[in-house]
Amino acid sequence: MARITLRPDDPLDHLDTEADEHGVSRSEHLRDIPVSHRERRQLLEQREEHTELVRHAEAERSIQPRREQRRQANVFRRAWRWLAGEPGKDVTT
């Protein structure tokens, strides 16, 4: 089992109050603290992954209309865009 150290700025009264709020003994509360930290870390990681997926989906959604326009363009328009470049894009050399 992992070793747990109490800091002097965390008085036992505070731990007793927290334990009473959760309806457990002080020792059970002390054992649960690392678990709750681990769970919190996992929730934060899941939230970051979700945020990243949302950004990716929004980027794909913003690109989708241009892809559809390119797909539906006739051969001459495609050839012109291939030669001259996409309209609205800066060509820097």
Percent pLDDT > 90 in the chain is 19
Structural domain boundaries in the chain: 12-84
- pTM score of the predicted model: 0.43
Residue 55's pLDDT band, with cuts at 50, 70 and 90, is: very high
- Whole-Å CA distances, 86 to 6, 29, 38, 71, 90: 64, 63, 49, 14, 9
Contact 30, 15 (CB under 8 A): yes
Overall average pLDDT of the 23-47 stretch? 84
- As a whole number of angstroms, the distance between CA 67 and CA 3 comes to 57
Contact 21, 15 (CB under 8 A): no
Residue 87's pLDDT band, with cuts at 50, 70 and 90, is: low
